[in-house]
Amino acid sequence: MSSDFVEDAKAEISGMAKGGMRHPSTKPVLTGAAVGAVAGLLLPVLSIPAGLAIGAGYAFYKRLRP
């Protein structure tokens, strides 16, 4: 990962923390977390917390690098 990605991620996380639900990335990331949690519930090889983290991480990544 490049330092640009890390800097973008820091800025985005900071903005999400400050803006809460008003920040444009918060709802898509929470939706990704929910989808991942459901996948964790349905797939026997994936736990709910792991699915939640993977879903949130993927949605966050796609917000930074579409």
Joined together, the tokens standing for residue 29 give: 């990331």
Annotated domain spans of the chain: 25-66
Question: What value does the mean pLDDT of the chain take?
Answer: 92
- pLDDT computed for residue 25 by the predictor: 93
Question: DSSP states of the chain as a string?
Answer: --HHHHHHHHHHHHHHHHHGGGSTTHHHHHHHHHHHHHHHHH-TTS-HHHHHHHHHHHHHHHHH--
pLDDT class of 1 with cuts at 50, 70, 90: low
Q: What is the mean pLDDT of residues 36-65?
A: 94
Cα 49–Cα 64–Cα 31 angle in degrees, nearest 5: 40
**What is the reported pTM?**
0.86
